Amino acid sequence: MAGHKPWGGRFTQPTDAMVEAFTSSIEDDKNIAMEDVEGSIAHATMLGEAGIISAADAETLVLGLEAVRGELLAGTFPWDTALEDVHMNVERRLAIHVGDEVAGRLHTGRSRNDQVALDSRLYLRRRLKEIEGHLLALERALVAKAEAHVDTLMPGYTHLQRGQPVRLAHHLLAYREMFSRDRGRVQDALRRVAVSPLGAGALAGTPHPIRRERVAELLGFSGVTTNSMDTVASRDHFLESMSASAISMVHLSRLAEELVMWSSAEFGFIEIGDAFTTGSSMMPQKKNPDVAELVRGKAGRVVGDLVALLTTVKALPLTYNRDLQEDKPPLYDSLNTWSSSLEITARMIPEVKFRVDRLQVALRKGFVTATELADHLVTRGVPFRDAHGVVGRIVGYCVAEDKVLEDLDLMTLRRFSPDFGDDALEWLDVERAVERRDLPGAPARARVVAALAAAKAELA
């Protein structure tokens, strides 16, 4: 009923209806309802095993909670906004199944503070494992695309200016490295998430002889938290997961930005499949990279979620404060956005077709082998700074004469420096330029093939 206070008899007035609506977390709590039941089953089992409640009551509680879980799975659970949060909704529904007296024993030895901390850790564990799978799928998509383009050369860029030739596979594997690190951050977060907070109570534990390690064991956690006050006050496991989300979304945004640029007529490096593009309501010729643009746009939203929670937590005294009710909306939004962005990008990558002819045209422009000429002079004993100046003057000459480096002959090169050797023009070949870079992490063919093999072995 409206104004009902579920937590006891101190109060003589009902809660104002507006306060009830303002403080309710029901809509957000629905995300952790299954975890609330899972944690409660473990808690009830432990209470019975420890003799804190009778074995019969523990068994009744578990059966009743399983019935509640069935209602949640079937979508028939009757949510009551007057009951403030998920914990009271589950307990009240449990009472319908097992009676008030037995249901009232479930909360022995725990507080909503450590209960919600447990629910959120269970939720995070589930979602992070799901996201780890999406990251693996995206890495595999990038590796497959890279494997198809080991022998495709393209300009590598700095400052969005053509710099040096590289293999397209090397470029794609750079993104795979980013997402591999993201997956590592997820795995790190999972290790710290998987400890049980139950037993911290409201802030100072409980006088009941509960077995914290048993609850952790039942839930598949690696251990228990070590300080009751930190346990209920900390949201590090939220912040760490959301930090990983924000970093990964920045990586997705960078990849999406290149897909947007490369699909434009100005670059023309790729064509994105029709299933991942849209048309214009007015201009019939348009094929818009909307999916990539939305992924790019959603990165800002996830970064904002992280900043929102950091701002909420930054000035909170120990231990629990109601401000922390605002922790879950940005968490849910961050993980949902990250998960869907990863999944759709992994599906889009196989539908990206590279236009090798356009990449070859781009290689001929932008003086991408200028550094090769400078390095050639270095092999002839010229200090690199001097060689850099010589080639800079050659590039200036080409710009003035509307030429590319490949248009020059050896006689012309020697007008700028007598140190150019007979093989100088060979250094302008882009394939040879890439192959000279034969060291770990570089784009020579053997190194890229080895990197692909290592990536495939890890992802297998």
Q: Which of 54, 222, 264, 280 is catalytic?
A: 280
Summarize pLDDT for 180-212 with one digit per residue, the tens. Answer: 999 999 999 999 999 999 999 999 999 999 999
Tally of CB atoms within 10 A around 215: 23
| Paired sense of beta strands 352-354 and 270-272, if any | antiparallel
Q: What is the pLDDT of residue 5?
A: 52
Indicate if 243 belongs to the active site. Answer: no
Residues of the chain with CATH 1.10.275.10: 17-108
Cβ(47)–Cβ(108) below 8 Å: yes
Residue segments in the chain with a per-residue pLDDT below the cut of 70:
1-9, 11, 24
Collect all residues with Cβ–Cβ distance below 8 Å to 459 and sequence separation of at least 6.
136, 139, 140, 143
Q: Which of 24, 159, 241, 334 is catalytic?
A: 159
Residues of the chain with CATH 1.10.40.30: 362-459
Q: Name which of 70, 145, 55 is nearest 102 in CA terms.
A: 55
Q: Which two tokens stand for residue 399?
A: 């710009």
How far from 429 is each of 268, 370, 398, 420, CA to CA, in Å? 23, 11, 17, 16
* Protein fold of 117-205+223-361: Fumarase C; Chain A, domain 2 (1.20.200)
Q: What is the pLDDT of residue 285?
A: 83
Q: Which two tokens stand for residue 240?
A: 């760490």
CATH architecture of 362-459: Orthogonal Bundle (1.10)
Q: What is the pLDDT of residue 6?
A: 55
Residues of the chain with CATH 1.20.200.10: 117-205+223-361
Domain 17-108, CATH class in plain words = mainly alpha
Q: What is the pLDDT of residue 8?
A: 54
Q: What is the pLDDT of residue 18?
A: 74
* Nearest-angstrom CA–CA distance, 51 and 279: 67
Indicate if 149 belongs to the active site. Answer: no
Own/partner contacts of 151-159, CB < 8 Å, gap of 24 or more, are 151/445, 152/354, 152/356, 152/359, 153/359, 153/360, 153/363, 153/430, 153/431, 153/434, 154/269, 154/359, 154/362, 154/363, 155/359, 155/362, 155/363, 155/366, 155/368, 156/368, 156/443
